[in-house]
């Protein structure tokens, strides 16, 4: 039996981790009421006081635009807290799995980003997540940082659910067409994390930074077209440049990620996000009849 302590309870990935925990896993998921990442020392104390085989941090400050005006809070939750948790894990030799993001890169070019490429976040959210990565590495314990992108699921707020709502309301939508990346189902992220957790528990985990995103890479506009095609909605989608949809935080134009290291070290291949989308839409079907 593998004991897994998860920071996060209601978020997209944490929800899927709980759904996928099999009979071989004793999983404890901590919500904000019992583990608030704005109090890093308290989170570290929980790890120190808990007997567990693996710790997964699936909690984060993810309000990308609001982070521009809440840098201290975003940095505490995304930077300081993961570092404190990783240090507590390192003291006990407990593997620490941490979710990060494509936003640590500046989004230039068109080739997929490799895990060891030079980072260059464009805004507060990316800087806060990069601070977390650096703190986790500095802790010196067994760990894996999993950078992912464009997360979607049947839970919480995400692009798929927004498109379903707007697609049912409007005949035409303008969607950004010059940002490209890999949509990634939260269920696939959870499955990858559990595979990695099992590897570490068996003494076969490899410490490092990894990329994981769905395939094939697409624009937001093409992602929307597939959502509508699979859900039988018929709004016209018009591609627009990022400049036509200004936001407080700048988004990376190129979020393509090279995921080969994860396949090499853990046997986790890139999932086809279109198949995962079909599953998510099935989960949501009752809400869109």
Active-site positions read 125
Cα 250 to Cα 148: distance, rounded to the nearest angstrom: 18
- φ, ψ dihedrals at 99, nearest 5°: -90, 130
Q: Which of 153, 162, 219, 145 is nearest to 184 (CA)?
A: 153
User: Six-digit token pair at 47?
Assistant: 């790890």
Give the count of beta carbons closer than 10 Å to the beta carbon of residue 245.
13
Region of residue 75 (left: phi > 0; alpha: psi -120 to 50; beta: else) = alpha
Residue 198 contacts residue 154 (beta carbons within 8 Å): no
Residue 4 contacts residue 26 (beta carbons within 8 Å): yes
- Give 262-266 contacts, CB < 8 A, sequence gap 24+: 262/146, 262/192, 262/210, 262/211, 262/212, 265/206, 265/208, 265/210, 266/192, 266/195, 266/196, 266/199, 266/205, 266/206, 266/210
Pairing of strands 218-219, 180-181: antiparallel
Cα 210 to Cα 114: distance, rounded to the nearest angstrom: 8
């Amino acid at each position: 039996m593998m004991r897994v302590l998860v920071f996060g309870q209601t978020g997209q990935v944490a929800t899927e981790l709980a759904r996928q925990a099999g009979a071989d896993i004793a999983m404890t998921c901590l919500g904000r009421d019992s583990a608030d990442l704005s109090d890093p020392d308290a989170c570290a104390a929980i790890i120190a006081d808990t007997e567990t085989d693996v710790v997964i941090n699936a909690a984060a400050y993810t309000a990308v635009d609001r982070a521009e005006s809440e840098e201290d809070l975003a940095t505490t939750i995304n930077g300081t807290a993961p570092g404190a948790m990783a240090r507590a894990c390192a003291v006990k030799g407990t593997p620490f799995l941490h979710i990060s993001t494509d936003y640590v890169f500046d989004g230039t070019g068109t080739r997929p980003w490799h895990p060891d490429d030079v980072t260059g976040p464009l805004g507060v959210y990316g800087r806060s997540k990069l601070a977390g990565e650096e703190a986790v590495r500095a802790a010196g314990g067994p760990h894996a940082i999993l950078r992912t992108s464009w997360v979607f699921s049947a839970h919480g707020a995400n692009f798929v659910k927004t498109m379903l709502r707007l697609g049912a309301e409007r005949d035409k939508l303008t969607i950004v067409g010059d940002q490209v990346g890999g949509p990634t189902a939260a269920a696939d992220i959870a499955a990858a994390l559990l595979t990695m957790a099992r590897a570490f528990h068996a003494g076969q985990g490899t410490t490092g930074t990894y990329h994981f995103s769905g395939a094939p890479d697409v624009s937001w506009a093409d992602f929307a077209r597939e959502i509508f095609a699979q859900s039988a909605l018929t709004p016209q989608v018009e591609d627009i440049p990022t400049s036509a949809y200004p936001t407080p935080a700048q988004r990376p134009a190129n979020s393509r990620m090279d995921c080969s290291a994860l396949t090499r070290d853990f046997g986790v291949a890139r999932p086809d996000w279109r198949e995962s989308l079909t599953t998510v839409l099935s989960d949501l079907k009752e809400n869109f009849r």
